Amino acid sequence: MARCAYDGEAEVVDALEQLPFMPGENKGWSKIDFTKKTETFVPDIEDVACTYSKLHEEACSAKTDFYTDPSTGYSVYTEYAIKKRGKCCGSGCRHCPYNHENVKDKAKHIQQPAFLFEGASDGDDPLFASLYSIPPNSQVKILFWSSGKDSYLTLRQLVKERMTSSSQFHLILLTTFDAESRIIAHQEVPIEDVVRQAKHLGVPLLGVPLRRGSGESYISRIEKGIAAIHKQVQDCDITLVFGDLHLDHIRQWRDEELKQYKLQYPLWKVPHEELIDDLEKSGVDVTLSAVTVDSGGVLREGIKFSRKLMTDVKELGIDEFGEQGEFHSLAKVWTVSRERALY
């Protein structure tokens, strides 16, 4: 239970600490400062011990309808049981094989990859087709979307490519988020904000929840997301697109782990000066959503990312685009028209 602060509270605490039967601080108890902001940090999917994925596989192999979750003790429907039902029930089941097609509020409830936004209708005159307007055998680029400036600038680069190339392609955004908190790891951005971005831009959005404690790898979850796209767009030719700027080890990891796919890095080695020029041209407000380094107050959550901020952090020896993970951002694309945001 949280306690309320009141005048004289410090004196009461001091008096309690003087009682002879009270152990010393950090010997069975410690102070909690309720005035400090609660951390919402979401760990990577690999950072948590594996638990229920193997149990589910064994239950399906045995053709049983349930298994017991080792963390909660609850009985959980297996994919085998749900397939016998023949359709999505709309409840957001953990092992739904139908990509939660009947779940109404997908952002809040999905546990498997599902489309959180299917794209703008034809009446909205979108640049990119809605999901159900993409014909079979199409070229589809899947942009890994973090909600921040790098993925946003990558989108603008793809728009330039599409407008100047004779080879047309369709676009789908893919975002991963923690299945429990509904927060994008590291970015500290709620999935609802990403849905808002996609709706304003008019681009289909696939959500891939990362389920901590499941025993599934990040790559296996991404592959399930790509499979969900193939269900909707038959025989499509897929390219995975990333907003990486200059970290060689990250690119090498992607090239190795995703070598079965075509990969594209539109912003690779593009000078920061060109990137900030394009960001300013867009008119979109970008604010910091998370800060992971001590900058003496120069970097703070909620402040605007700008050319001046780049200069200030560079003088501190911090990557001016936060490419080392020093800070993360949210591109508020809704602050300008769709046309200007896209290009």
Q: At 129, which amino acid appears?
A: A
Confidence category of residue 74, pLDDT binned at 50, 70, 90: confident
pLDDT of residue 54: 84
Distance CA 244, CA 150 (A): 7
Segment 182-206, tens digit of pLDDT: 999 889 999 999 999 999 999 999 9
Q: Quick one: CA dihedral 161, 164, 169, 173, positive or negative?
A: positive
What's the token pair of residue 30?
């410690």
Segment 106-163, tens digit of pLDDT: 888 889 999 999 988 766 667 888 998 999 999 999 999 999 999 999 999 999 999 8
pLDDT of residue 81: 86
> At residue 305, does pLDDT exceed 50?
yes
Distance CA 139, CA 169 (A): 5
Closest CA to 213 of 92, 54, 330: 54
Distance CA 82, CA 92 (A): 11
Confidence category of residue 275, pLDDT binned at 50, 70, 90: very high
Distance CA 117, CA 106 (A): 9
Higher confidence at residue 1 or residue 326? 326
Average pLDDT of the chain, as a whole number: 84
Confidence category of residue 3, pLDDT binned at 50, 70, 90: very low
Torsion, CA 199, CA 202, CA 204, CA 207, rounded to 10? -30
Alpha helices in 71-131 (DSSP H): 79-85, 106-109
pLDDT of residue 22: 42
Query: Who's near 255: CB < 8 A, 6+ residues apart?
Result: 263
Higher confidence at residue 17 or residue 310? 310
Mean pLDDT over 241-269 rounds to: 95
pLDDT of residue 10: 46
pLDDT of residue 49: 41
Distance CA 237, CA 241 (A): 13
Mean pLDDT over 295-323 rounds to: 95
pLDDT of residue 160: 94
How many distinct helices (H) and strands (E) make up the chain?
Answer: 11, 12
Q: At 119, which amino acid appears?
A: G
Segment 14-73, tens digit of pLDDT: 554 454 444 444 433 444 443 344 444 444 444 444 478 888 888 888 888 888 888 788
pTM: 0.81
Q: Quick one: CA dihedral 268, 130, 237, 164, positive or negative?
A: negative
pLDDT of residue 80: 85
Q: Where are the domains of the chain?
A: 45-264, 281-342
Confidence category of residue 92, pLDDT binned at 50, 70, 90: confident
Of the listed ranges 3-7, 200-204, 262-266, 314-318, the one predicted with least confidence: 3-7
What's the token pair of residue 301?
């959550």
pLDDT of residue 321: 95
pLDDT of residue 328: 96
What's the token pair of residue 228?
């969900």
Distance CA 95, CA 79 (A): 5
Q: Quick one: CA dihedral 138, 146, 265, 228, positive or negative?
A: negative
> At residue 5, does pLDDT exceed 50?
no
Count the alpha carbons within 13 Å of 25 in the hemisphere toward its beta carbon.
8
Distance CA 300, CA 294 (A): 10
Of the listed ranges 28-37, 78-87, 178-187, 232-241, the one predicted with least confidence: 28-37
Q: Give, in order, the Cα–Cα distances in Å from 204 to each of 74, 160, 185, 241, 253.
A: 35, 18, 21, 15, 27
Distance CA 115, CA 138 (A): 18
